[in-house]
Structure 1
Amino acid sequence: MRLMDPDAWKVEQAPAIVEGVDLLKNHRVHSDLGTLDCGGRVTAHVVMGNTSYVITTNTHYVPRLPEVDPKQILIRRDMRFGPDDPVLWPRLYSKEFCPLPAIPKAPTHPQDHLAVMWWNPTPDDFVCPASGMTLTRGLGRLWGARFSKFSVRTHALIKEYEQYVKSLPTGTKPPLLLPQLVQRLQLSLECLRMLSTYVRMVVGVTTVQREYLELTGLLRYMTKYRPRLVLINPADTTQPDDCVGCFTNDPRIAQILWKVCLPCWLIRPLKAFADECILKMVVPFAATDFLEMNPATGFAPVLATDRLDDCLSLLHCCTENTPWYRNLFEGHVASTAAAGGSGVGLAGGQSARTHSSRGASSSVSLRGTGSPYAAARTESKARKEKGPGPKLARDKSLPFDRPEMPTTISLWVSTLAAVDRSR
């Protein structure tokens, strides 16, 4: 990720005349900028679907719309979700998820107190709990010094949430999503203490980071930006805060975001340009300039829809369904299924993948709950409808196919298979 590169947000100037239209013809002094100029500080020209558009903004840079596949989500090599994740890249404004633009933007200085929330772990951070030395293989956990940074920031944010709850009028409850995110963040942080594979440790780190940023965005929206909406006068400054922001093609939404000092990028056809004041033309950023785009090895795409709520749910499900430990029976799963064994899969929004320390595999539904009881009830109901069948003894030459069974000795698999079982 280049998000914390001090030069990451420097923009390149672009030509002012686009398709014969001089976009700087209404250049005026900075104080004359209005809400319908959307700040007008910089503008970029983009082409989408063979149609030319201009993007005006109240910030000093313009990102491109995320080039994502609405039918699937990919986990990348850094165990993040790239432009599929609204925490990492701005998305189109959603009325149902209006706090998303308030998520903090990655700082440009590594010493910033929030820089740890975009930090990428390395094998040097994966240590043996007994010696504290770096592991080359096996199970370990996040280095204690790194964990302490996450712990300090997380507990400070939870304390901020508790103060917000105390400030609410008597009988008023916070939005349901707030306590849910607080609980998820607490559990995810605690899980970082557990021994796991290296990949699962990295997934645990990125999970804490994303949930922290989601909670921060929602808390900021409720305590800072939402109150500004009811004020007659806008904020004291027209400079937007360092937040992720969002895209919109609705001038009314752009006016509101301009008023509360959240970054926004107003998209409109080039033909609609008239009297707007623009101070500078720039080249838009692409997600490939900042984010890891290469998919992770061993992780298949996750089937999705174009609904933002489905996308957000899947981002949480994908991390929950990544196994903590290596599957000891990998390689025998196929033979077990062929013999009629009932393999235990992961619940969540994922397609078939392989259980391993570097990946996971299962057959799952889009809105899976992760509860093993749901699958058990479904299987029991199907059995009752079908009626009693012949009782079949388990093939003792095959490895156990249930996670709660004790571990078998690998040598027994080949030895038992060679036993003469004829009558």
Structure 2
Amino acid sequence: MNSDEIIQNYHDHINPGLADLLQLGGLAAVDDRAEGSYVWDMDGNKYLDAVGGYGVFGLGHRPPKVIQRVKETLDRMPMASKIFVSPSEAELGYVLSKATGYEYFMFLNSGSEAVETALKLARLTSGKQTLIGMTNGYHGITYGALSVSGRDFYKEPFKPLLPGVKIVQYGDIEALRNALDENVAAVILEPIQGEGGVNVPPDGYLRAVRKACDDAGCFLILDEIQTGMGRTGKLLAEEWEDVRADIVCLGKALGGGVVPIGAVGANEKAWQGFIDNPLIHESTFGGNPLATSAGIASVQEILDKHIWDNAYTMGTKLINALKSEAEKYPNLIKEVRGRGLLIGIEMAQEGYGLPMMGFMLEEKTLVAYALNNPRVIRIEPPLIIGDEEVEWIANAFSNALVKLQDLAKDLEV
């Protein structure tokens, strides 16, 4: 089957609207293979993956040690009995606890499922009902996760959503303090907003949120699904302000880019609801041997390589290079921001986002715009990139800006 036939099948049987949008933006290619920081399409074109599966490929595509561990598990026991204790599940819990300091973990199938679990846990243990989320926050598109997310565009068609939810301004500690009362079970937020447009909060904000939650007697849930596992230059982004949540959500890069997995970690106080009710929340495929084996190998690789150090070093170089190019086009680019290898490029106009993706694709570089803020191009390459990849992305950005400038002039005529 050739590329055209595959795209037609996708249009006819999967998502017609998305297929049309991809073709309109010049993005209709078909994956064929991947290795490290690169992807090849079915026509043999090589691309630098600068979006990295929205943070999934922290270790790059097909990391050998993760692949090997999963292959061994596939040959031995790919799915557990669910009656006996799974050794890989227990081992991953131990490894993550030692690495992060959170005592208890539950493994799920996705980041959204991790968020759903965290919300249920907070309500169960606290006995309270109110949940507080943030403007432009993004925690997934399942019912509870969507309820505590912060963009109405995705929420309106599905209302009424989960009751007892308040949304406050991200980065505004006074807004949070004013929303807190004795009925709040938990506050949930991202240490840096990803889908919201790579929004880095003011210095001291996370510490202030931690104190506000302590003063109100509620739990703090940090969604580190995208920021965790080294992405921002620390193993967890909470470390930038020396903050510890009560409940943490992990996913994306945790599976090494090989098997999907989500995780919820918590301290003993927050976990008490699951200790008292050990069968109240379960998942048939959660914690399966393939996923947890991938998780073990992934965490070990991240820790052994101190991969967050490379993320910070290369991220600093890339941000500086992008800023240098952006300064030449103040009519096109409003701001370049981020931390580590979680980078956002805010376009001057929302309509520039999709064509900029297309122009970057023409330069053989994969990027994406943020779902909660389409004017922001998001860059999240594998954390293993080096100077060669930084230069590739910067050159692609420079060439794409020239094309976007020409398009902008044509639109003005």
Provide TM-score, normalisation by structure 1: 0.26
Q: Which structure has the greater CA radius of gyration?
A: 1
**Structure with greater helix percent:** 2
Provide TM-score, normalisation by structure 2: 0.27
**Structure with greater strand percent:** 2
